[in-house]
Chains A and B, each alone.
Chain A
Amino acid sequence: MGIIEGFVYREFNLKRASLGTFLAQLINPVIYVVFFATSMSGLLASVEYRGQTYNYFIFVLPGLLTLQTFLVFPFVGSLVASDKRFGLIRTFFISKGTPSKYVLGKIIVEGAVVFVECFFMLAIGFLFSGFLPLISNLLLMSIMIGLAFLFWLSLGILFGLFVKGEVSRAAILTLTNLPVLFTSPMFYTLNEVPAWVSIGALINPLRYHVDSIRDAMFGILSPTTFIIVLVMSSLTLLISLLILKKASITP
């Protein structure tokens, strides 16, 4: 327990040390909901989704929640890259800090931040729309948010380990972020999009995360979507742990 506490202490203090970034992390999602969702719902009153008609504000809210899990990817990628570059991964692993404990420290602190963000977003959503999911749906939604978070965190670890140099990381993120975001049903349904976007969406993990969180919120989550998301997250987490264990830890 002490070792995990050490990692949590470190991660938490790193957040405190860059308070501006931390606050921005908490405030940005709220701004998204307040400005983006309310403005767009003025343009698009309702959206048809899986045979039901929903208010756009309520429709886009799970998309924005998923966005918070997705943003963990570049953030954790940059943290891990810096830990490796400055020899901290080596320092920790040569001590009793195993890869799994290192990852667990990140899961606890970053996960807490994502859950606080999501809580604020749901609260603002409720204030603006009066919509509140059922408790059972909220619980299921939390599980799906947790799984999406684990997926992007694990991918962030791999990204940070393998992509050396800030310039390369920035270039890769610039090239991939928008296609990933826009081939997902985060802001719109994929019913009306061109065929090539639909094909892109099939291999886009974010699509399954948005679907799973949205479906959980509306209480229509299918076991297939649940299993797809569960397998994706478990596999990515497992791979990131294995690679972290086997990879060279020299700076």
Chain B
Amino acid sequence: MGTSFIIDIENLSYVYSNSGVKALSSLSVQSDMKSGILAILGPNGAGKTTLVNVMTTSMPLQTGKIKIFGYDIARNRDIIRSLIALCAQGLELDLLLSIKANLWSYGLIRGMKKETLKKRIDYLLELFQMKEKADRRVLQLSGGEMRRVQLMRTFLDETAKLLFIDEPTLGLDPLGRKVTWELIKEWVEKEHYFILTTNDMAEVERLSSEIVFLYKGQKLAETTVEEFKKQYAGRIKINIKTGNENSKACIRKWSSKNKVNVLHQSGHTFTLECKDILIFLDLLSEISRKGGEIEGLSLQQETLEDAFINLIEKMEGFHGNN
């Protein structure tokens, strides 16, 4: 093995032969996945699914090198396959079979012992509250229930050390989401690793501390959620509802003087944007000094979603200008 990286990708490129589209371009990612969860982010067409397909050996390796747990994907495909599990975004279930039959056949195909398999199926059916429907055909389930079955199948075999989950909680109700998040955290504690591809930024903020951001097949960032937010979403928005004309005049004057961006103004309501929260204290004391009144005040820190959008807009602007 000889490396401490869980994921070691070196100069990975992938071109779809039928369309000629270059989905990945000289991509390199080295991660020891200390937090246990790595989220692959990026806009549609960034290459996320291609990357997961190549990493899970679903598609052949064209150029570059990938090592997972130190095993070279080109030489140790079978070992890697025995260490991973995939929960794709598509259904990927036997629709005509019952939930139990789907889980049972998959467990046997993964080489699980019947005794362990039975216990795991019972546990997961209970956990995902699907026991009553265990003998129902997958075809008869709702979209959210099908997703639960897929997740149950992904979490069936505890020998899978690296789990790839595409949009983990897509279509799940709040309870299903809670169960999934708790299960992921529980497995992380047991030294399992997760690679998530998702467009749900709230989920990423909740679960991951490490992200890889892809754009047009290239890596734009490999960092933590906090660092990413700091870099691309450091701004703070303040909404102020003024009580009189004094306050309005004061805000206008103050923002112009301090070069604070007024994002929006409608009637008595202002939305200001700034990088430093302390500067707003100055505004408030200014309003107070000038006899102004404030009826409402709220602060809003930019989220990961804002960081995502900011980075995309920056890149689109960059590409647009070139």
Contact = CB atoms under 8 A, between A and B. Distances in A.
Which of A5, A9, A17, A95: most chain B CB closer than 10 A? A95
B92 A87 contact: yes
A91 B106 contact: yes
Contacts of A249: 58-59
Given A86-B91, A248-B58, A13 B81 contact: no
A13 B105 contact: yes
Interface string A73-89: 00000000000001110
A17 B137 contact: yes
A223 interface: no
A94 B56 contact: yes
Interface string B122-158: 0000000000000001000000000000000000010
A6 B108 contact: yes
B189 interface: no
B92 A95 contact: no
A95 B56 CA distance: 10
Interface in B86-105: 86, 88, 90-97, 101, 104-105
The number of chain A residues touching the other chain, given as a range, is 20 to 34
Majority-rule SS of A interface residues: helix
Given A13-B97, A86-B92, A249-B58, A3 B111 contact: yes
A18 interface: yes
Nearest to A11: B105
A250 B91 contact: no
A93 to B, nearest CB: 7
Contact of A6 (B59, B88, B90, B106): B106
A141 to B, nearest CB: 33
Nearest to A85: B90
B109 A3 contact: yes
A17 B92 contact: no
B184 to A, nearest CB: 19
Contact of B57 (A2, A14, A94): A94
A95 to B, nearest CB: 4
B193 to A, nearest CB: 16
19 contacts: A2-B111, A6-B104, A7-B109, A9-B104, A9-B108, A10-B101, A17-B137, A86-B90, A86-B93, A87-B90, A87-B92, A88-B92, A90-B58, A91-B86, A91-B88, A91-B92, A93-B81, A97-B109, A97-B110
A54 interface: no
A247 to B, nearest CB: 9
B192 to A, nearest CB: 16
Contacts of B95: 86
A188 interface: no
Which of B91, B108, B111: most chain A CB closer than 10 A? B108
